[in-house]
Structure 1
Amino acid sequence: MQNQLLKEANEFQEKLSAWRRALHQIPEIGLHLPKTVAFVKKELEQMDIPYTVYEESSCIVALIGSGEKCFMLRSDMDALPVREESGEPFASENGCMHACGHDMHTTTLLGAAKLLKSHERELRGTVKLLFQSAEETFQGAKAAVDAGVLENPRVDAAFAMHVAPNSENKKIIYGEYPMTSVYGFRILLTGKGTHGSAPELGIDPINAGVHLYLALQELIAREISAMEEAVLTIGRFESGSAFNVIPHRAVLEGSLRTFKSEVRDYIICRIKEVAKGVAATYRCEVELEVLNDVPAVKCDVKLNEEIIQSVRELDSELKAYPTFHVMGSEDFSYFGEKIPTSYFFIGAGVDNQDEWVGHHNPHAKFNETCLPTAAAIYAKAAMDWLENHG
């Protein structure tokens, strides 16, 4: 049995697909998304929904309804610096790609806006819609919080979802601790450059970097219990520009992901100690820089259950499992430090499972048939929460 909101959303499936494909062809990265913002503004204006644009961060806040209580729905809008190879007829051609599905998220929130606007008189409070930039760089949510998006009116609770291209279409997962914190760091090793034929006259930062890379991996293998959950990845190791030159510097950049703050703090301390120790052993100078430091996503258990109840009432055929617990990260966690939040995954795998790949892959494809369901989930979650709390 389907709820009326889902029936209404299914009726404008073609519009949702058109929005998504238009957004897919204008991917933008970081905090400044002029084309994406212009697209969203135009659609909100056509729906007669008032909005505010935060120019410094390309975030858009729209309001539907009125009342003392306020529930926020959030979708991110930014893309990745990935050249698309999906083969889709609407593939992007500007060197960037919505390989994480944020075009789907933006479309979902526009769809929810359309539903909520048509039911505005039924709302027992205010729904705040946040179209957010720079999730991929972990800058957008903090910028939004700092800009005051949780105020005027003050947000009481918030909900967001993420599409999964490698999961059964419309399958939903949720959990209390769905995603980890992420600590991004850069280590700069400075040696002494020299001719490749005379290494004894220089100090080789590549040699130091290789030993440092191995030592950092051993922190997880030998200093953290196998019962804990932690991932330390070096994603960039760069040095030198010629085959016959020992370079002056080497750079390593990486990320640490954990669920527990005590595990995180211990490993960060050891990263610093090991970096200094290895650098000293191989006679290099060392500098450490923090690239980002984002908390883990922690969901409010009661809010999770409320929204899952809304999902079950929406469509009895939807499958929902309390199994969301992955090593990825999300800056939605910044909102969770301020207010009760929930964060779900919804499956968006295409019909041919041979084409399923994970997020951030240049071949990623997403099933647009999940868009009406996602939009209806957003709308019903907001309406039900206001009904229960307003």
Structure 2
Amino acid sequence: MLDYRQLIEKYEKDLIRNRRYLHQHPELGFDLDNTVRYVKEELTAMGCEPKEIGNHGVTAVIGKREGRCILLRADMDALPMKEESGLPFACTSDSAAHTCGHDTHTAMLLTAARIFKELEEDLPGKVKLLFQPAEEIGYGCRDMVENGILENPRVDAAYGEHIMSCFPKETVLYGTGSMSTGADLFTITVHGKGGHGSVPHTTIDPINIACHIVLNLQTVNSREVDAKEMAVLDFGSINAGSAGNAIPETAVLKGNIRTFNNDVRKQIKKRISEIAEQTAAMFGGSARVEYSLEMAAVNTDARVTELTGNEIKKHMDLEKVNDHTLKLPFSEDFSYISERVPSAFFLIGACPEKGEVLTQHNPRIIFDEESMKTGVLVYVAGAVGYLKQGKEETI
């Protein structure tokens, strides 16, 4: 049995070097010029032939034998905030910081790539790497899919990872089925007829319509969604008018949907349009529903999870592995891939042994760097576990 941990130790200095460079040079969304340059240079130096894909994505394929192809994804973008970790390699920018841990994901997949290159002659298939932009704004994975990341070579399965500051260091957590909620951000624009507040009968009041839409939509959860299902439908913004004695032409509502069940998600989206439009029409106005973000829940495939997870377990202390059903209330744009190919997803615990336990996106967050080696192990062992089953097995 291959000693993956020995190989990881061999490249530990590169793992830390890459992570700290990326940590000190965060970039946002699709604006990843320096990050893309760095990743391509590292891949080229280890003998890969990286290619840019879509809007600031990077991909490379490792493996010389025929067989299955598995896609491994790491996201690269940071958050628009200032870091306050106090680390000696902390970013000094006021406008961007890796407080979600995507710098570690990129560094872990780069190290995994070094190991795959070392094992390339014996890999029983192909590993396709994806270094993805713009996960934090929810559009990066969709852009990669639309630009063909799942083709040439065609991807048979995929998985991603996310480092987690709130779980014990060097632990691995995963499960099957829906593991994260979808995220849909919507805007409802209500059109009425403005006029003087003293003669409301000559107007069509969009504020009144908007209020009724909000109230009517509250019955979707309480009367139309199975009580066993988790679903959130709420509003965070309502804007209309500028004067107390004038009825405006429009009112604008903004809200979001979260659910683990993609069928429930579709049901709620359908009812938002129906209820908004019909409520507005009842009062003589109109309503238009638009989505600024549409992201399904991440669904993990039982067989891919079994093949990858079983191989990972062979190289870990089983007390540090939790393979029970996992449901977390965050959203992940990896769903654009998991909707299209059988997928798995792993969480890597990286809570420091000392200090305050903080969640992602906190400006003071610190990830345990030793835990990155566990993340590399998950990438390498999981991929090999899937590929070595042979192309004859159909998933």
Whether TM-score is above 0.5 comes out as yes
Q: Is 1:100 equivalent to 2:100 in the alignment?
A: yes
Conserved? CA contact 1:235–1:253, under 8 Å: yes
Per-residue deviation, residues 33-69 of structure 1 (Å, max 9, x unmatched):
2121111112112212111112x42111112221222
Letter in 2 for 1:378: Y
Give the alignment's TM-score, normalised by structure 2. 0.85
Q: 1:58, 1:104 → 2: CA distance?
A: 18
* Alignment gaps of 5+ in structure 1: none
Letter in 2 for 1:42: E
Name the CA shift for 1:93/1:243 in 2 (closer, same or farther; >3 Å): farther
Q: 1:87, 1:244 → 2: CA distance?
A: 52
Equivalent of 1:345 in 347, 353, 356: 347
Does 182-191 or 110-119 show the bigger shift? 182-191
Letter in 2 for 1:31: F
Tell me what 2:322 maps to: 320
Tell me what 2:230 maps to: 229
**Map 1:341-380 → 2, pairs under 5 A:** 341-352=343-354, 354-357=356-359, 359-380=360-381
SS in 2 for 1:160: strand
Q: Is 1:61 equivalent to 2:63 in the alignment?
A: no
Letter in 2 for 1:340: P
Aligned residue pairs: how many? 386
Name the CA shift for 1:276/1:337 in 2 (closer, same or farther; >3 Å): closer
Q: 2:331, 2:369 → 1: CA distance?
A: 24
Q: Is 1:16 equivalent to 2:18 in the alignment?
A: no
Deviation at 1:103, TM superposition (A): 1.5
Name the CA shift for 1:309/1:210 in 2 (closer, same or farther; >3 Å): same
Conserved? CA contact 1:115–1:376, under 8 Å: no
Aligned Cα RMSD in Å? 3.0
Q: 1:319, 1:215 → 2: CA distance?
A: 45
Q: 2:144, 2:307 → 1: CA distance?
A: 26
Per-residue deviation, residues 280-306 of structure 1 (Å, max 9, x unmatched):
567654221122333332222111111
Conserved? CA contact 2:64–2:121, under 8 Å: no
**Map 1:1-390 → 2, pairs under 5 A:** 4-54=3-53, 56-69=54-67, 70-89=69-88, 90-91=90-91, 93-177=93-177, 178-191=179-192, 205=206, 208-239=209-240, 249-279=250-280, 285-317=286-318, 318-352=320-354, 354-357=356-359, 359-389=360-390
Q: 1:21, 1:198 → 2: CA distance?
A: 64
Name the CA shift for 1:20/1:258 in 2 (closer, same or farther; >3 Å): same
Does 112-121 or 174-183 show the bigger shift? 174-183
Per-residue deviation, residues 84-138 of structure 1 (Å, max 9, x unmatched):
4444441351423333221121111111112212222221222111111122333
Name the CA shift for 1:380/1:265 in 2 (closer, same or farther; >3 Å): closer
Q: 2:265, 2:33 → 1: CA distance?
A: 36
Name the CA shift for 1:49/1:258 in 2 (closer, same or farther; >3 Å): same
Deviation at 1:250, TM superposition (A): 3.7
Conserved? CA contact 2:58–2:130, under 8 Å: yes
Deviation at 1:314, TM superposition (A): 1.5
Q: 1:244, 1:350 → 2: CA distance?
A: 57
SS in 2 for 1:66: coil
Name the CA shift for 1:168/1:221 in 2 (closer, same or farther; >3 Å): farther
Per-residue deviation, residues 303-324 of structure 1 (Å, max 9, x unmatched):
1111111111112253223231
Q: 2:107, 2:195 → 1: CA distance?
A: 55
Conserved? CA contact 2:26–2:91, under 8 Å: no
Conserved? CA contact 1:3–1:314, under 8 Å: no
Conserved? CA contact 1:175–1:324, under 8 Å: yes
Letter in 2 for 1:300: D
Identity of aligned residues (%): 38
SS in 1 for 2:310: helix
Name the CA shift for 1:322/1:93 in 2 (closer, same or farther; >3 Å): same
Does 127-136 or 139-148 show the bigger shift? 139-148
* Alignment gaps of 5+ in structure 2: none
Q: 2:205, 2:368 → 1: CA distance?
A: 50
